[in-house]
Chains A and B, each alone.
Chain A
Amino acid sequence: MPRYEYGGDEFIFVELSEEMSLEVNFQAMAITKQLKEDNVPGIVDICPSNASYMIRFQPEKIHPDDLIAKLKQLEESVSLDGFEISSRIVDMPILFEDPWTHETVMRFRDRHQDPSSTDLEYAARINGFDSKEELIQAITDYPYIASMIGFVPGLPWCYQMVPREQQIQVPKYVRPRTFTSERAFGFGGAFAVIYPVQGAGGYQLFGTAAAPIFESEQRLHDFKDSMTFPRQGDLLRFRSITMDEYEKIRKEVKDGTFRYVMKDFTFTPQQVLEDPKAFSDDVLGRLYA
């Protein structure tokens, strides 16, 4: 049963489910999309998240209980049938085991479950892989859906579109780090993330993204409309790259010529839920066609 909770006098928090699934993520997307289209007066922010969503509102314009009634009604009426997600398929080049996150990983060993191995080695072991290379393979073989945006501007929580038994899961650090390098590629719970900017963080660190996902100067083409690049519903493929390619992309970013390899794509939840693997293969085919 979903939980409807007050977040003080300005927020309503709705937990659709305690556990993560693609289905519940699509539900949160569908309800919040309908709410946006309904243009309810007094709503300030609509924030869909992984298995929940949150609304910021002005109680002078809508009483929280009236808003909750409205949301419950949406929960009843909104269906995934006919719900289309306008999305983009994006190639995300990642340098795994890069020197920058390695330095961070080593600096905060005392906050980790297993101080004697690296985050990647630890994650490979507890997920039953024989080597870290196999884990990297599993991460990069199938694309992810950006299931939530937040934490800091533009950070995408990414959930892999594979059956649950194939999902990679790792714990967060025992105590959060006080430092994470910019563009670090991390993993926590069942989610992959890219840290847009330097800051605190508690996810296992596996590598660094070559391209930015936040750009306050908005120099690059992909940032013309927004300082943040990822959008909820985007389909992201993390691709393992070499140091040579990493340096080439960094140069393009510096020169202002970098553009993400991406394709616009509209899909329905049914397509994903019926056969996540077939859907993932189709997505990769379209991206590199």
Chain B
Amino acid sequence: MIKVKNPGLETTVQDYGRIGYYNVGMPPSGAMDKYSYTVGNILVGNDENAASLEITYMGPVLQFQEDAVIAITGGEIPPKINGESVPMWETLSVKSGDELSFDFVKKGARVYLAVAGGIEVPLIMESRSTYTLCGIGGMEGRALQEGDELTIGTNKKQDVKEGTSLPDEYRLDFSGDNEIRVVLGLCSYRLTEDSKKRFFEREWTVTTEANRVGYRFKGERLHFMEREQPFGAGSNASNVVDLGYPIGSIQVPDGVEPIALLNDAVTGGGYVTICTIISTDLDKMAQVKTNEKVRFVSVDIEEALQARNEYRDTVEKVRQFVAK
């Protein structure tokens, strides 16, 4: 059992996600930074889909009521056990009675706590992920609250030696710019050529509306090609006949502020979508904070698939490193 003494800003139970229900309007939810989440599970010897805690901006205070093996991965929200700093990206063991807390966020936005065995909550549509908007999954469909008691599950495959520490090359790197790769497409034909160009030229600032549902960006107004609105679309130039939104798609209601739809987003609607963040860079997006700047970089489908392969290779190397 893990007792929640302070829940932090927004701490939720997440696994790989609720996959395969998009057609009824159910978003996948799940860990927003899949890489950090996956590596966390590898470091504690868990099944790939074991549930972890996703911690946002401000960490919780958790008291372990049994011995456990844990790993903390993701953004730099420095963890402490009984007030003493402990390393991230490393297999740690905690004793019954130990208290895990976090310092203020230094880099990134989200950190993952993996516990050997996983966090045990009921499976809803084959997933333990929390989807707060509809109140399903995770801890009673909501973020953690003070006094919650989390059960440690049995989703463990193997033991990992305490002190197993990932080399820097497998940790998140916050030194570069926030470049988010996208594949242009969907209804991008609605944008003027100039707006398409400007979208990629300029920097976009993340607004305070940046959460698991989506990120909204400030920059400049984008313009749409003139047309007579098709039947059923609605009168605004940014309206289309309501259609499906891919996860990671970017829409621009009224041309004013682009919105990137993320794990808990709506699955469809009536706004023009112009491009889609590639799956690997959704992880990067999840580590960007309000007021930070991002730049969108256009890649073609082969480059997107290449990035995906490299990502998978990296995860495989981590797996081999930890297994050694």
Chain A interface (Cβ within 8 Å of chain B)?
3, 5-11, 13, 15, 17-21, 44-54, 56, 59-60, 63-65, 148-155, 157, 159, 164, 167, 169-172, 174-176, 188-191, 196-197, 199, 202, 214, 216, 226-228, 232
CB proximity of A156 to chain B, nearest CB, Å: 9
Q: Please tell me if B295 contacts chain A, counting CB pairs below 8 Å.
A: no
A167 proximity list for chain B (CB < 8 A): 231-232
Contact A13 B242 (CB under 8 A): no
Interface size on B, residues (CB 8 A): 54
Contact B230 A153 (CB under 8 A): no
A56 proximity list for chain B (CB < 8 A): 22, 246-247
Stretch in B75-83, B181-189, B194-202 touching the partner: B181-189
Contact B134 A214 (CB under 8 A): yes
Contact A228 B232 (CB under 8 A): no
Question: What string of 1s and 0s marks CB contacts (under 8 Å) between B244-272 and chain A?
Answer: 10111100011000000000001111100
Contact A149 B25 (CB under 8 A): yes
B312 proximity list for chain A (CB < 8 A): 60
The answer for the CA separation of A56 and B22 in the assembled complex, in Å, is 9
Using A15-B187, A152-B266, A189-B239 as known contacts, say yes or no to A59 and B305 having CB atoms under 8 A apart.
Answer: yes
Q: Please tell me if B234 contacts chain A, counting CB pairs below 8 Å.
A: yes
A157 proximity list for chain B (CB < 8 A): 242
The answer for the CA separation of A117 and B136 in the assembled complex, in Å, is 37
Contact B266 A151 (CB under 8 A): yes
CB proximity of A170 to chain B, nearest CB, Å: 8
A153 proximity list for chain B (CB < 8 A): 21, 24-26, 134
Residue among A7, A10, A169 with max Cβ neighbours from chain B (10 Å)? A7
Question: What string of 1s and 0s marks CB contacts (under 8 Å) between B291-303 and chain A?
Answer: 0000000000100
Chain A to chain B: the 6 pairs with minimum beta-carbon distance, closest first: A20-B232, A7-B246, A8-B276, A54-B244, A19-B230, A150-B268
Partner of B19, one of A9, A44, A59, A191: A44
Partner of A149, one of B24, B230, B307: B24
Q: Please tell me if B23 contacts chain A, counting CB pairs below 8 Å.
A: yes
Residue among A3, A54, A64 with max Cβ neighbours from chain B (10 Å)? A54
The answer for the CA separation of A223 and B117 in the assembled complex, in Å, is 33
Partner of A50, one of B23, B186, B232, B266: B232
Contact A8 B277 (CB under 8 A): yes
Contact A7 B186 (CB under 8 A): yes
CB proximity of B209 to chain A, nearest CB, Å: 10
- Nearest residue, chain A, Cβ from B125: A227
A226 proximity list for chain B (CB < 8 A): 24
A191 proximity list for chain B (CB < 8 A): 232, 242
Interface pairs (10), CB distance under 8 Å = A9-B304, A13-B244, A20-B232, A45-B22, A50-B243, A63-B305, A150-B244, A152-B267, A159-B232, A228-B24
The answer for the CA separation of A226 and B183 in the assembled complex, in Å, is 34
Partner of A189, one of B23, B233, B279: B233
Contact B25 A151 (CB under 8 A): yes
Using A148-B242, A172-B234, A197-B133 as known contacts, say yes or no to A7 and B185 having CB atoms under 8 A apart.
Answer: yes
Using A6-B301, A20-B231 as known contacts, say yes or no to A188 and B270 having CB atoms under 8 A apart.
Answer: yes
- Nearest residue, chain B, Cβ from A24: B241
- Nearest residue, chain B, Cβ from A198: B133
Q: Please tell me if B192 contacts chain A, counting CB pairs below 8 Å.
A: no
Partner of A5, one of B133, B186, B240: B186
CB proximity of B116 to chain A, nearest CB, Å: 28
Contact A18 B233 (CB under 8 A): yes
B186 proximity list for chain A (CB < 8 A): 5, 7, 13
CB proximity of A195 to chain B, nearest CB, Å: 11
Partner of A51, one of B185, B243, B278: B243
CB proximity of B11 to chain A, nearest CB, Å: 21
Q: Please tell me if B141 contacts chain A, counting CB pairs below 8 Å.
A: yes
B305 proximity list for chain A (CB < 8 A): 9, 59, 63-64
- Nearest residue, chain B, Cβ from A13: B186
The answer for the CA separation of A56 and B246 in the assembled complex, in Å, is 8
Q: Please tell me if B236 contacts chain A, counting CB pairs below 8 Å.
A: yes
The answer for the CA separation of A64 and B268 in the assembled complex, in Å, is 21
Using A152-B266, A189-B232 as known contacts, say yes or no to A11 and B242 having CB atoms under 8 A apart.
Answer: no
A152 proximity list for chain B (CB < 8 A): 25, 133-134, 266-267
CB proximity of A17 to chain B, nearest CB, Å: 8
Q: Please tell me if B135 contacts chain A, counting CB pairs below 8 Å.
A: yes
Contact A216 B136 (CB under 8 A): yes
Partner of B244, one of A49, A170, A188, A189: A49
Residue among A13, A65, A188 with max Cβ neighbours from chain B (10 Å)? A13
B253 proximity list for chain A (CB < 8 A): 176
B154 proximity list for chain A (CB < 8 A): none
